[in-house]
Structure 1
Amino acid sequence: MSNQIITEISVDLDNRDKNTALFRIFLAVPVLIFLSSFAAFADDAMGWIGGFLVLPVVLSLLFRNVYPSYVLAFNKAFLELDNRVTAYLLVLTDDYPSIEANQKVRLTYPEIDGGRKLSPWMPLVKWFLAIPLFLLGLIYAIYLLALTLIAWFTVVTKGYYPADKAEEVVKVIAYWNRLYGYAVLLITDEYPSFSLS
């Protein structure tokens, strides 16, 4: 089993709803408000994390060498919700993002319990080590936006999502999920790959 988050997104390629794709950003406002409510009470220093529980994980890894299961469950559910909203906004699916888990977007986490321990000191340096990954991720994000613009135009005019664009967009989302798993959620000590594959 991989020591990284595995991302599976079921993309709707054919028979797309042109009308909802055209006004997707406006239709997503309610679920975006719901998603942003998790970060609304965070202070400025931690606000960029966006709703994930990080400090309890860092403290429990440093002092107890344990990843709290309830924090893991919350962070996993929050990242899956974020991915469902992202898939909807990026026109990968016409299904309005549910606030409950569904089969369109699934994330598989590495096994944390069962003998594999996380290094207790790594949370102190992971953010620093992840700087090159974040910088490359920004380039990948620009690539994702360009692909999404082309795909959005195709969906609105022709009613289908190009398969090659969908594959690349999902790879970029998976890259960011692996990066979050390493640097923000701290669920693995394995350094993520720089590639999209």
Structure 2
Amino acid sequence: MKTTQDDIQLLCGLYEGKEASFRAIYDKYFESLFLYAMKVLNDRIVCEDIVQDIFVSLWTKRREAKITSLKPYLFQAVKYQIFNYFRNNKFSREDLTRLNIVDVSMNVIQKLEYSELDQMIRDTVVKLPKRCRHIFVLSRYHHKSNKEIAEELEISVQAVKNQISKALAFLRNNLHHEEAITALLLLLF
């Protein structure tokens, strides 16, 4: 993996003890390292701790570290910490094998983000009242028009619209602000 000029400058600043360089590395890589860990562990708190520990170690050992390529170094550190987590918690060989097949490409990270959001939406949809949930699922997951749903359930088109509006409001109120915006955009289109 090729090291970018930006990463080389950040590493130089890190070795010199420049907090701004460390902060820039943190800002640049925290999210992707966290999502990489989440792909394997699916435990937000553990993953945040792992990534935070890596950055603490990066700062405290900055003078001894012989890092030639920043991004691979950081991802290898996450992989190593995940392995230690599995080992210390007596996870199965299957769990360890799963760790070895994780792909860190942006495409996978984007799929993970979508998958997480989709699961949050589905978990929230399950909490809707039965009739509202049924209409919402027919509309958004079975891609039926309001008219088709109205005919199938023998209700008015306006009743379908009301139930979908009710479902969207429920989602908006039960998801975090950023998640709600993204979820509603996904569900509207």
TM-score range, shorter chain: under 0.3
Greater relative CO (CA pairs within 8 A, separation 6+): 1
Give TM-score scaled by structure 1 length.
0.22
Question: Max radius of gyration: which structure?
Answer: 2
Give TM-score scaled by structure 2 length.
0.23
